[in-house]
Amino acid sequence: MSGNGVALVIGAGDATGGAIARRFAREGFFTCVTRRHLDKLAPLVERIRSEGGQAQGYGSDARKEEEVIALVESIEAEHGPIEVLVFNIGANAPNPVLEETAKRYFKIWEMACFAGFLNGREVARRMVARGRGTILFTGATASLRGRANFSAFAGAKHALRALAQSMARELGPQGVHVAHVVIDGAIDTEFIATLFPETYRLKDRDGILNPDHIAENFWQIHRQPRSAWTHEMDLRPWMENF
């Protein structure tokens, strides 16, 4: 059990989520990371441990209430209090609105918003009882404006932002810091490298977001004194348009 408690990262992918998990692990947190498929977490867990941190991976569907409840109960019982929750599920899947299906639209909302509610609620119940904690939601450009072909993603991300605002106003006076971080730009990922090679070439000019730099901002939000809490922060490369 870590003296600093647990940092739980929901949606610890190969870029942003993994970088955030590694950043908190370096500060002495026992880092619990989740994806739907446990085997995909093995490289991240191994890296954290090789860097001197403590980590445990969990295969869990963040959209399933019973799985979320079981996950949080298990972590608190085995590793200690969850001091930080990072909700980082992406669900970025563009599609023309005339071709969108009800099933696909609903799934994107489940992943990007409903799962945020389930995980945020369950962890907040413990945090409020202790009078402390940090809940961080990863947002996107779509949190602020909808683009053509992104009706489902924008709707879900707008809703996640509204959830974060409501939770911040409700839980802040009870000692829980809730923040929403808008990632406004392309991130250095295999997804961008493969599908948007022109954009990816901007990496040499710091024209796309570095996951480690995103993670540093998440860490800095967590360590803010409560007399000066940030609720919303936006991060973008220096050359990105607002």
Q: Give the residue with greater pLDDT, 58 vs 94.
A: 58
Tell me whether strands 176-183 and 232-235 are parallel, antiparallel or unpaired: parallel
pLDDT in tens, 205-225: 999 999 999 999 999 999 999
Closest by CA position to 176, among listed 82, 109, 70 = 82
% of the chain exceeding 90 in pLDDT: 93
Mean pLDDT, residues 127-139 taken together: 98
pLDDT in tens, 223-233: 999 999 999 99
pLDDT at 98: 97
Sort 182 into a burial class: Cβ within 10 Å, 0-12 / 13-18 / 19+.
buried
Asked whether the beta carbons of 94 and 150 are under 8 A apart, the reply is yes
Confidence of residue 129 (pLDDT cuts 50, 70, 90): very high
> What letter represents residue 29's amino acid?
F
**Domains of the chain, first to last:** 6-234 (3.40.50.720)
**Global pTM value:** 0.96
Distance CA 183, CA 153 (A): 14
Cα distances (angstroms) measured from residue 162 to each of 104, 134, 232: 22, 17, 11
pLDDT in tens, 37-57: 999 999 999 999 999 999 999
In whole numbers, what is the pLDDT of the chain averaged over residues? 96
Closest by CA position to 93, among listed 141, 153, 154 = 153
pLDDT at 1: 59
Please determine, for residue 179, whether its predicted confidence score (pLDDT) is greater than 70: yes
